[in-house]
């Protein structure tokens, strides 16, 4: 697949870039995408939820009533889970939600996500993205020129650029990442991708089959 290369003003540079079919043109694997996104979201969970069971509460262990003859359930102590103020039965405890995923599965998932964007014509390639300073209005002007301002763009750079990152920091609808930070979730969470020419080369080096 070939795409025209434009500048940040949306003007055609007269050059084209060829996207590697082994990355941007494969048959997407939905199950690999599911596993990778599931792992990404699981790794975001803190797992610090906690509740106190009857053994963790302070209070008397005295039996509050007779074993039989009361007409109801067998009464336990004041910390019983069936009493108001008692311990939580089968409550949440701190745990680690993260799990391992095969490296090849993760790569397949990322290539599948990129292929989905390419098949839907949701990739724009710019020659370079550079700002003189960290100004949000410059970033907004660029997205409007590229006609992606209302399409929740994901800007992918080959290397970190402080001015570009700071310019987009206040915008909740846009996100800036480097190629090394690219994940299946971030690709699918964006409606369109804006790649620099250097980023395309870096992606082909990192995600090649």
Residues 119 and 28 in one domain: yes
Cβ(60)–Cβ(130) under 8 Å?
no
Over pLDDT 70: what percentage of the chain?
100
| pLDDT score recorded for residue 66 | 87
More confident residue, 209 or 69: 69
pLDDT of residue 71: 87
CB crowding 118-135: b at 16 or more within 10 Å, else e: beeebbbbbbebebeeee
pLDDT one-digit tens code per residue, 143-198: 999 999 899 999 999 999 999 999 999 999 899 999 999 999 999 999 999 999 99
Q: CA 130 to CA 150: how far, in whole Å? A: 21
Same domain, 74 and 138: no
Q: Which of 78, 96, 114 is the last residue before a domain boundary?
A: 96
Residue 13 phi, psi (nearest 5): -85, -10
Using alpha carbons, select from 17, 21, 26 the residue that is nearest to residue 201.
17
- Domain with 65, as residue range(s), is 47-96
Verify that 70 and 155 share a domain, yes or no: no
Q: Among 28, 63, 96, give the residue marking a domain's end.
A: 96
pTM, two decimal places: 0.83
How many structural domains is the chain composed of?
Answer: 2
* Cβ atoms of 126 and 66 closer than 8 Å: no
Report how far residue 53's alpha carbon sits from residue 45's, in angstroms, rounded to the nearest whole number: 23
63 and 87 both lie in a single domain: yes
CB 133 within 8 A of CB 152: no
How does pLDDT run across 108-143, given as a tens digit for each residue?
A: 999 999 999 999 999 999 999 988 889 999 999 999
Pick the last residue of a domain from 96, 128, 158: 96
pLDDT tens per residue across span 79-91: 999 888 899 999 9
Residue 209 has a pLDDT of: 56
């Amino acid at each position: 697949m070939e795409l025209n290369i434009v500048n940040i003003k949306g003007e055609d540079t007269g050059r084209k870039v060829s996207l590697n079919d082994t990355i941007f043109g494969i048959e997407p694997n939905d199950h690999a995408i599911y596993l990778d996104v599931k792992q990404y979201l699981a790794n975001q969970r803190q797992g610090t939820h906690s509740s106190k069971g009857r053994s963790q509460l302070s209070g008397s262990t005295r039996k509050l009533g007779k074993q039989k003859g009361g007409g109801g359930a067998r009464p336990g102590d004041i910390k019983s889970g069936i009493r108001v103020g008692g311990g939580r039965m089968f409550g949440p405890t701190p745990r680690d939600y993260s799990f391992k995923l095969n490296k090849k599965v993760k790569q397949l998932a990322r290539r599948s996500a990129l292929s989905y964007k390419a098949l839907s014509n949701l990739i724009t390639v710019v020659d370079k993205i550079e700002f003189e300073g960290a100004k949000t209005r410059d970033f907004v002007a660029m997205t409007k020129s590229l006609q992606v301002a209302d399409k929740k763009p994901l800007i992918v750079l080959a290397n970190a650029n402080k001015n570009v990152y700071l310019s987009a920091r206040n915008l909740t609808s846009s996100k800036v990442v480097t190629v090394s930070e690219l994940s299946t979730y971030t690709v699918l969470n964006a409606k369109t991708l804006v790649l620099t020419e250097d980023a395309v080369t870096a992606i082909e080096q990192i995600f090649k089959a």
